[in-house]
Amino acid sequence: MTTHRLLLLNGPNLNLLGTREPEIYGTETLADVERITAEAAASRGFVVRAVQSNHEGVLLDAIHAAREDCDGIVINPAGLTHTSVVLRDALLGVALPVAEVHISDVQQREEFRRHSYVADVAIVHVIGEGVRGYATATERLIDIIAGQAEG
């Protein structure tokens, strides 16, 4: 039996969820994000490998490894959303379907946050739904992978 797997990738500073700017990001933690995502995936027969790092190279290595055993990637690139061409290139390079998640509504924040290098690579975008957005993104991505929706 084949295991269907998603890579859940969280970028810089998301390890501080729950304490970092709770007025913007809420009080739920990275552990909550990982649990919410794993539960959404499990309800559809998928497992999740979760990686969070404050180091871009670690995130790139996780993306590269995903091509070997993952069916898709759920990513919150955090601050790298607005700065990292290499993260975008890695996502393109592995040719897996991608769901981009942002806890806050980046379109309503500072001007520099309104550009995403990941946006044109991702087939699912969930922005401003808080940590529950991870479940939404996971479910939509699995629908696309399973052929039940178009990306």
CATH code of the domain occupying 4-145: 3.40.50.9100
One-letter amino acid for residue 142 of the chain: I
pLDDT at residue number 79: 92
pLDDT, tens digit only, all 151 positions of the chain: 678 999 999 999 999 999 988 888 889 999 999 999 999 999 999 999 999 999 999 999 999 999 999 999 999 999 999 899 999 999 999 999 999 999 988 777 767 667 899 999 999 999 999 999 999 999 999 999 998 877 6
pLDDT given at position 99: 98
- 132 is an annotated ligand-binding site residue: no
pLDDT value of residue 100: 97
Instruction: Look at residue 108 in the predicted model and tell me its pLDDT.
Output: 75
pLDDT at residue 21 in the model? 84
Catalytic residues: 25, 102
How far apart are alpha carbons 150 and 145 in whole angstroms?
Answer: 9
Q: What is the pLDDT of residue 16?
A: 96
Q: Is 44 annotated as a binding residue?
A: no
Report the distance separating Cα 87 and Cα 133, nearest Å.
21
pTM exceeds 0.75, yes or no: yes
Q: Is 114 annotated as a binding residue?
A: no
Compute, in degrees rounded to 10, the torsion defined by CA atoms 142, 145, 147, 148. Answer: 10
113 is in an annotated binding site: yes
Residue 2 confidence (pLDDT): 74
Q: In what order do the strands lie in the sheet with 98-102?
A: 46-52, 4-10, 72-76, 98-102, 124-127
